[in-house]
Structure 1
Amino acid sequence: MRRFRGYTTGIRALVYDRNAAIVSSAYTDFPVYHPSQDRVEQDASEIWSAGLAMIQKALAGAQLQPEDVTAIGITNQRATTVMWNRDTGEPISRAIVWQDTRTSDRAAELLPEWGEKAYSRPGWSLAPIYSSLSIEWILDNVEGAREEAQAGKLAFGTVDSWLIYKLTGGRVHAISASNATVAGCYDLLADEWYEEFLTALDIPMSLFPR
């Protein structure tokens, strides 16, 4: 993915050979939405569709079939929050991009009690970039989301989780360790999701990828 003016605005697929030489590539832009001044959103379905199309185009350019690929790597915007329904595989809202600031007031509200603890465990200063605060916002503002989350019907992930989920036909719900840390709710000392903080936000642990 390419960064432009602080946002991720496009998807590039590359095919490498075993010597790391680029055999083929494909690129396309996709939109960023700004419903209000403090909001930056993207459509996770558009990310997937564009990604799949570019994979297909890059493979065609290299005259390869999917089974010819030995390994896949994903580089992505990191703290962007995607939530989807486990049964349908469809997002329940637009993805909240890492530069979105709608949770600024909530971060300030939590800071006196959680500022030091959050920094000492996830290793990030408590701020709107926390995916956990975006999750809380979605659960509180998307109709029926909290009830579905409590019933174990929803999944959360950053963009890598979303793409892995789609690429595996919904069989794998996972996240890279690096991306997990920027979610603001991963306990680096215990090497697990920061359950104490998530419980305080009333966020079910069932949402989270391995």
Structure 2
Amino acid sequence: MADFILAIDQGTTGSTVALVDSQGQLCASVNVEFPQIFPKPGWVEHEPEAIWSSVQKALSRLLRKKLCKPSDIAAIGITNQRETSVVWDRRSGEVLHNAIVWQCRRTADFCETLRAKGHEDLVRERSGLVLDPYFSASKFRWLLREVPAAKRALKAGALAAGTVDSFLLWRLTSGEQHATDVSNAARTSLMNLKNLRWDPELLRLFEVPEGILPEIRPSSGVLGHTRGVRGLPDGIPIAGIAGDQQAALFGQACFSAGDAKCTYGTGSFIVMNTGSERILSKSGLLTTIGWQLDKQDPVYALEGGAFVCGAAVQWLRDGLKLIKRAPDIEALAASVPDHGGVEFVPALTGLGAPHWAPDARGLITGITRGSDRGHIARATLDAMALQNVDILRCMEADLGKRMRPLRVDGGAAANDLLMQIQADYLGRKLVRPRITETTVAGASYLAGIGVGLWSNTAQIKRIWQPEREFSVDISAAKRRQRMQSWQAAVDQTLVKAIPD
């Protein structure tokens, strides 16, 4: 009986393929990393073929575990790094350039030009997003203008462009489907949040032809079927797609307005379900789509993201060589009682919400003769948490009320010290679920609902279970003092971000 879901979680540094059973439990997962490409300062790329190869390798290794027969897979769900942009040839399937990654800042000048011309209000009102190189629209424009092969394919009517989900769907269906879901389309700056269609005025503004873009579909429901995928039979429905943060929101069973989660990955992202209401932020946050189930109205959300979270730990490991393995950060940070006055603002690829300063660069300050590796490690964990406090305060200002206990997930959510720091600085209880890889869970649940393995979100809510809670353990006065020190460091970073 086909009662397993195969989930593909395509992330910034690697691809995970996982198997989830009909009870919503994770049976196994395999992760395969791929190289990061940095052609110039502030530029970040991925090779799309390396992404596809990492998915294939992870799938092959998972199937070798023989936890089920391939014919037992009822559906496939996809979740992905969102704004990363890919172009390929519809005729041959050939990739025409490296993918431009969501972290890449190469289009900052163009976005600033649009802002100077007064277009930001239009972009925000239509798409819910700010004018920033983070989003896909300016990346598509760059690819269309700067890549000769893309120009030739466009002229021949053979160009396809999309985010990573649409590229994976194309490959999984051997080119039969060029589609995306509403949650990924909402991150391009090209979709109208009201009617969930590509917006003609935004397309003109960013000089992106609608014909190269994927069809926009609900997040749950059959979008295509496997064809020619090594190790899998033809005909398995791909029945769920959501951007990674929206998948995590769904996987955390945040189904009621006011429910929120924070995912700690390469970046960190707080997303709050706002139900049927589109709240346009006045505090530098983003209005987006949470998900849309087939034949239902969309669920909206508010989001704030910090570009660098786990990536800061990777930098300590790979750049500064302070630790050998990423998990070593917890013990090193715990070797000191606090940050000792050291502040690290990890603006390694600019600052995201609520500052939106693409030219900002990282800053370490407050170092003395008494500072050591432990203080830098502790300042890094503090920064990962403090960025989220800035976002939360803006979110509560937009909502006009306090947030409920925050649900946490992602790789760094396993770090107990970080979670306690986060609860202390937020002044809110945190709840960590038993399954912290909630992007995988969300993709699986959407796909399962899409093929009828589960009938509704009420069934999913019964699957979700808490593992541990973290309560606030510092005074309000100490929290205010810590925030003042952090804000002073952020202010220094923003001053340095002002162009000469």
TM-score range, shorter chain: over 0.9
1:170-181 map, 5 Å = 170-181=175-186
Cα distance in structure 2, aligned partners of 1:21 and 1:190? 35
Deviation for aligned residue 1:24: 2.5
Question: Is 2:66 the partner of 1:74?
Answer: no
Cα distance in structure 2, aligned partners of 1:32 and 1:52? 18
Cα distance in structure 2, aligned partners of 1:80 and 1:67? 32
1:2-81 map, 5 Å = 8-81=12-85
SS of the aligned residue for 2:105 comes to: coil
SS of the aligned residue for 2:88 comes to: strand
Deviation for aligned residue 1:41: 0.2
Deviation for aligned residue 1:52: 1.4
Question: Is 2:107 the partner of 1:98?
Answer: no
Cα distance in structure 1, aligned partners of 2:10 and 2:89? 28
SS of the aligned residue for 1:72 comes to: strand
Match of 2:163 in 1: 158
SS of the aligned residue for 1:175 comes to: strand
Cα distance in structure 2, aligned partners of 1:170 and 1:144? 19
Deviates more, 1:116-125 or 1:18-27: 18-27
Deviation for aligned residue 1:57: 1.6
Which of residues 119, 127, 146 in structure 2 aligns to 1:122? 127
CA contact (8 A) 2:18 2:27 kept: yes
Which of residues 105, 113, 135 in structure 1 aligns to 2:118? 113
Cα distance in structure 2, aligned partners of 1:150 and 1:196? 22
SS of the aligned residue for 1:12 comes to: strand
- Kindly indicate whether structure 1 or structure 2 has the higher relative contact order, using CA contacts under 8 Å at least 6 residues apart: 1
RMSD of aligned alpha carbons: 1.5
Percent of pairs with identical residues: 35
Question: Is 2:193 the partner of 1:199?
Answer: no
Cα distance in structure 2, aligned partners of 1:80 and 1:134? 8
Match of 2:89 in 1: 85
CA contact (8 A) 2:13 2:35 kept: yes
Length-normalised TM-score, structure 1: 0.92
Cα gap change, 1:198 to 1:92, in 2 (>3 Å): same
Cα distance in structure 1, aligned partners of 2:102 and 2:132? 11
Deviation for aligned residue 1:63: 4.3
Deviation for aligned residue 1:2: 7.6
Cα gap change, 1:144 to 1:22, in 2 (>3 Å): closer
Equivalent residues, number = 206
Higher share in strand: 2
Length-normalised TM-score, structure 2: 0.40
CA contact (8 A) 2:18 2:28 kept: yes
Match of 2:174 in 1: 169
SS of the aligned residue for 1:70 comes to: strand
> Any gaps of 5 or more consecutive residues in structure 2?
1-8, 216-500
SS of the aligned residue for 2:91 comes to: coil
Cα distance in structure 2, aligned partners of 1:2 and 1:185? 22
